[in-house]
Amino acid sequence: MATSYNIDAKLDETLEQLKLHLGASSKAEVLRKAVALLNVATRHENADGSVTILQQNSSDKPNETKVILR
């Protein structure tokens, strides 16, 4: 089933950049990956509707980024 959406210039540019970064074959592939990632994130969200991304660095404490989903 084909569905079309209106995408503004800013989102289109973001999708294009992600397409190049991921080596995706299309912007639709980028959107499929984004939905899959959001699906995983929502299954592991905190009680406040957030997820925390940890990035290990050279120091003892990892960098934390909190993303609010709801």
64, part of any domain: yes
Range of the domain at 62: 9-68
| Rounded Cα–Cα distance for residues 52 and 18 (Å) | 21
Q: Which two tokens stand for residue 17?
A: 């950049």
Angle between the N-to-C axes of helices 27-43 and 9-22, in degrees from 0 to 180, rounded to the nearest 10 = 90
The total domain count for the chain is: 1
32, part of any domain: yes
Whole-model pTM over 0.85: no
Which residue's entry shows tokens 């294009």?
Answer: 16
40, part of any domain: yes
Which residues, at least 6 apart from 27, have a Cβ–Cβ distance to it below 8 Å?
Answer: 12, 15, 16, 19
Predicted confidence (pLDDT) per residue in 11-48, tens digit: 999 999 999 999 999 999 999 999 999 999 999 999 99
User: Residue 9: is its pLDDT beyond 80?
Assistant: yes
Which residue's entry shows tokens 């991304």?
Answer: 53
57, part of any domain: yes
54, part of any domain: yes
